[in-house]
Amino acid sequence: MQAVLERELVEQQWTQEQQEVDLCLDVTDLSIFYGPKQAVKNVSMPIKRHSITALIGPSGCGKSTFLRSINRMNDGIKGFKAEGNILYDDVNLLDANIDPVALRKEIGMVFQRPNPFPNSILKNVTLPLKEHGLKSKAKREEYAETYLKQVGLWDEVKDRLHESALSLSGGQQQRLCIARTLAIQPSVLLLDEPASALDPIATAKIEELLLKLKEKYTIVLVTHNLQQAARVADDTAFFYQGEIVEFSDTKTFFQSPKEKRSEDYISGRFG
């Protein structure tokens, strides 16, 4: 009897703790298929608001597929099918009536290779503002300055705003792409290996930026760089063959993983 009561108490406390966590995205039972191939298998993941969640795991384990399903970037792929729930403010983002264009304003994405528009540095940030209905040019330029400052690029580019964005270094281009994404005022940022094409100094700047941005945004980050996950993420999810092997706070994951496969992956024994 005593044991039953104790177990009930523990369960109650656990439920209370779960309820107290402020979730931005609550993924439950997500399965994703490309035709007959199942790339993501019954994945559940609570993604906390104003936190960085890192998705790690060997190549082909489903990290990008999972990430891209959050803002419905995979929708156009032939044979693609997603089942389960991705709750965002109690709305299932997988519902057929969700408008993917409106969704992508709320949940922005930055890709592996910096891909600025072949326009001026300034226009890379003012164009999305214009597309989203900001009519005043002066206001657009004012906002552009704010976003360029947010990504720590303003001082580096303020005297060359009308030069081509392609004249910037890779790291600067990637921070410009982040500024461009911020300009559409999302709440969530999805980043698919944003620093994998950058040198260590540019990578450090991106990591510093992510730590600053999480005060305002919720960040989900795919990375192959385990040290990067350990440095910046609050929570870490380890994917393997479409499943989540382990999800926990980053410190616990790297210092005392519960699963043998996590331990092997962290210590470089596979993947």
What would the two tokens of residue 190 be? 């999805």
Considering only residues 28, 31, 33, 34, which one is a binding residue for ligand ATP as defined by CB under 6 A? 34
Interior/surface letters 163-195, b for 16+ CB within 10 angstroms, e for the rest: eebeebeebbbbbbbbbbbbbeebbbbbbbbbb
Residue 76 contacts ligand ATP per CB under 6 A: no
Least separation in angstroms between CB 248 and ligand ATP: 19
Least separation in angstroms between CB 5 and ligand ATP: 44
Residue 65 contacts ligand ATP per CB under 6 A: yes
Encoded amino acid at 208, one letter = E
Which is closer to ligand ATP, CB of 19 or CB of 59?
A: 59
CB 63 within 8 A of CB 236: no
Which is closer to ligand ATP, CB of 129 or CB of 219?
A: 219
Considering only residues 51, 53, 62, 198, which one is a binding residue for ligand ATP as defined by CB under 6 A? 62
List of residues 6+ apart from 241 with CB closer than 8 A = 41, 61, 62
Residues of the chain by 3-state class (helix, strand, coil), percent to 5 = 40, 25, 35
Residue 63 contacts ligand ATP per CB under 6 A: yes
Least separation in angstroms between CB 80 and ligand ATP: 7
The binding site for ligand ATP (CB under 6 A) comprises 34, 37, 39, 57, 59-65, 77
